[in-house]
């Protein structure tokens, strides 16, 4: 879509600044590095970039613990670097979306420093403070996603404060109107600087139950995506510590502010277990709250027709006037090539098939840096880990560093061209060097070239972006659906299995013309189509 609606169906490329490109030899990526590598991103044919947090932060959670919402952390550069990067992005036709982590702050944020100083200072009520129970224990049974209780005792105030993540990420109290005003002022700061949109971290965590009621127990784990057995987080129903009805009113305030500017967008991160679907529907309907949301539904290990059919189908049915953003990878989950491929040998093929599938889905899509190279999850030693979540639960859960290793740009250079420092913050795995950008540029069959061709294919067919989607029952173990817009109806049949398959087309579906899918041999079909292992067919339906 063009104009103010550009986000509808957009392809968004997520940059993890710490690991993209280092230009000052400190072993950490920076904003100047992003500027330097923008042509690579633009060459993929994407519409926008999403930058993970680069704000002032003690980096306890790699920047998702913000100490100043309106400045750039010195390790990443300066506001001037940011402005320069944005100008360069816009010149290349790329929109810029930034992360806003406003559910919680860092414990070093001046707001929290003031809030914790006494029970009667002007910001005393800006965070979720509560007295202990008479026996001294925490106010209720809420748990932290990163393990342990969701409350931390503060010896000065002699009260507990709530945190959904690390103890150094205290939760802001959105029931307080001044808190809403303060975070919206930060949002306005970036709108005035010209950013095109916001990725809203943990958007359903802004409010918690005003009465701080206990969460009911749950028999099955419905919590964090990768919640290891040892993490009790999954074992309660998170009825009261997130997704409260008051959030709707705040999201409307947020949208009112955004609508004073042209062509700005929002994409909310909704982690709400089995309720995610309803939450996304509620947050994106009506055109007066969020523009889009994404969930964790496609970020798990399931690469089966049933899963895609059920999950994508459910969203289509329930999110009728809203808009969904799909992704297979991000900075929190194992890279999808490693989740979906059964052997190392099939990784490039799986990488190609996965982006072909993602490109045919109705909605917007997010790519995560390095997936255009088909990078597998990095295998790291315990000594290499930097993610507090992984350090805490190793080896049951290895944390999120395996998807956060630096981008390999040039195979022959130290740290694959990411940095000239002696040590980079996380190592570049040696297998990643052979998948470096320069190697893949030189290979016409590479995953990188496949991404470009496939994203161009999506652009050529408007039906893929916002056309109707109908799933077909073919009786075979394949994922089959049509996408229809205006006069064009396209049939897709994906074989996600390792066996060749012959599929009889359902009655009423007549292929008039085979449409070559980039990277896949073109099968021909009349009443039936024959697919190789990990293969796709596309045809025009008359």
Residue 267 forms beta bridges with which residues? 199, 292
CB nearer ligand TEU, residue 201 or residue 377: 201
Burial class (CB in 10 A: 0-12, 13-18, 19+), 443: exposed
Least CB distance to ligand TEU at residue 271 (A): 4
In the complex with ligand TEU, which residue's Cβ is closer, 148 or 313?
A: 148
C-alpha distances out from residue 117 to 112, 133, 157, 265, Å:
8, 21, 7, 37
Least distance from ligand TEU to the Cβ atom of residue 139, Å: 21
CB of 238 to ligand TEU, least distance (A): 11
In the complex with ligand TEU, which residue's Cβ is closer, 271 or 539? 271
Q: Work out how close the CB of 332 gets to ligand TEU at its nearest, in angstroms, rounded to a whole number.
A: 3
Which one of 22, 154, 201, 226 is the catalytic residue? 201
Which residue lies nearer to ligand TEU by CB, 9 or 390?
390
DSSP string, 193-261: HT--EEEETTGGGS---TT-PPPPB-SS--SSTT--TT-GGGGB--SSSS--THHHHHHHHHHHHHTTS
Residue with tokens 């895609």: 308
CA distance 322 to 479: 24
Active-site option among 47, 65, 226, 269: 269
The answer to whether 432 touches 454, Cβ cutoff 8 Å, is no
- Count CB atoms within 10 A of the CB of residue 299: 21
User: What is the torsional sign of CA 419, 425, 429, 435?
Assistant: negative
CB of 269 to ligand TEU, least distance (A): 6
Helix ranges (DSSP H) in 71-176: 79-91, 110-115
Q: Return the number of the residue (196 or 401) whose C-beta is nearest ligand TEU.
A: 401
Binding site for ligand TEU (CB under 6 A): 61, 64, 101, 145, 165, 201-202, 224-226, 271, 331-333, 400
Q: Identify which of residues 199 and 432 has a Cβ nearer to ligand TEU in the complex.
A: 199
State the minimum distance, in angstroms, from the CB of residue 218 to ligand TEU: 16
Joined tokens for residue 42: 């633009």
The answer to whether 342 is a known catalytic residue is no
Do residues 335 and 289 touch, judged by C-beta distance below 8 A? no
d(CA 258, CA 195): 11
Q: Give the shortest CB-182-to-ligand TEU separation in angstroms.
A: 18
**Is residue 269 flagged as an active site residue?**
yes
The dihedral through the CA atoms of 202, 9, 98, 426 has a sign that is positive
Distant-in-sequence, close-in-space partners of 50: CB < 8 Å, separation ≥ 6: 12, 13, 14, 15, 97, 98, 99, 199, 267, 366
> At residue 284, what are phi and psi to the nearest 5 degrees?
-110, 0
Residue 27 or 271: the one with the smaller Cβ distance to ligand TEU is 271
Which residues does the annotation mark as catalytic? Answer: 201, 269
């Amino acid at each position: 879509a063009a104009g103010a609606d550009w986000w509808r169906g957009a392809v968004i490329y997520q940059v993890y600044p710490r690991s993209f490109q280092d230009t000052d030899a400190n072993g950490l990526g920076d904003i100047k590095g992003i500027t330097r590598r923008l042509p690579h991103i633009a060459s993929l044919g994407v519409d926008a970039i999403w930058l993970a947090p680069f704000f002032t932060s003690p980096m306890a959670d790699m920047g998702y613990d913000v100490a100043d919402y309106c400045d750039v952390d010195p390790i990443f550069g300066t506001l001037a670097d940011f402005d320069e990067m944005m100008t360069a992005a816009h010149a290349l036709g790329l929109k810029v979306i930034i992360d806003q982590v406003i559910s919680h702050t860092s414990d070093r944020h001046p707001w929290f420093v003031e809030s914790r100083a006494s029970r009667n200072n002007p910001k005393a009520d800006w965070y979720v403070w509560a007295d202990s129970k008479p026996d001294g224990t925490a106010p209720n049974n809420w748990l932290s996603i990163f393990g342990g209780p969701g409350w931390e005792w503060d010896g000065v105030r002699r009260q507990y404060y709530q945190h959904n993540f690390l103890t150094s990420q205290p939760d802001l109290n959105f029931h307080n109107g001044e808190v809403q005003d303060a975070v919206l002022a930060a949002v306005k700061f970036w709108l005035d600087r010209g950013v095109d949109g916001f990725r809203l971290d943990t958007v359903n965590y802004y409010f918690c139950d005003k009465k701080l009621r206990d969460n009911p127990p749950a028999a099955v784990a419905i919590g964090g995506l990768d919640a290891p057995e040892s993490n009790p987080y999954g074992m309660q129903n998170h009825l009261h510590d997130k997704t409260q009805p008051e959030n709707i009113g705040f999201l409307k305030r947020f949208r009112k502010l955004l609508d004073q500017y042209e062509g700005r967008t929002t994409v909310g991160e909704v982690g709400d277990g089995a309720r995610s679907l309803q939450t996304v529907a509620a947050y994106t309907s009506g055109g007066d709250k969020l523009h889009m949301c994404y969930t964790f539904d496609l970020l798990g290990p399931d690469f089966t027709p049933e899963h895609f059919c059920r999950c994508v189908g459910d969203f289509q049915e329930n999110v009728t006037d809203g808009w969904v953003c799909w992704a297979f990878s991000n900075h929190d989950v194992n890279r999808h090539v490693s989740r979906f491929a059964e052997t190392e040998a099939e990784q490039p093929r799986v990488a190609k098939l996965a982006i072909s599938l993602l490109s045919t889905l109705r909605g917007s899509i997010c790519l995560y840096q390095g997936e255009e190279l088909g990078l597998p999850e990095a295998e790291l030693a315990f000594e290499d880990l930097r993610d507090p979540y992984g350090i805490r639960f190793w080896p049951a859960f290895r944390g999120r560093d395996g998807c956060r290793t630096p981008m390999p740009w040039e195979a022959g250079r130290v740290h694959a061209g990411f940095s000239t420092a002696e040590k980079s913050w996380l190592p570049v795995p040696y297998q990643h060097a052979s998948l470096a950008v320069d190697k893949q540029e030189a290979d016409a069959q590479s995953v990188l070239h496949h991404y470009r061709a496939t994203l161009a294919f999506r652009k050529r067919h408007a039906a893929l972006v916002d056309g109707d989607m109908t799933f077909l029952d073919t009786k075979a173990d394949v994922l089959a659906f049509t996408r229809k817009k205006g006069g064009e109806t396209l049939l897709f049949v994906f074989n996600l299995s390792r066996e060749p398959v012959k599929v009889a087309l359902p009655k009423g579906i007549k292929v008039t013309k085979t449409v070559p899918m980039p990277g896949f041999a073109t099968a021909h079909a009349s009443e039936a189509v024959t697919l190789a292992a990990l293969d796709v067919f596309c045809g025009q339906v008359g």
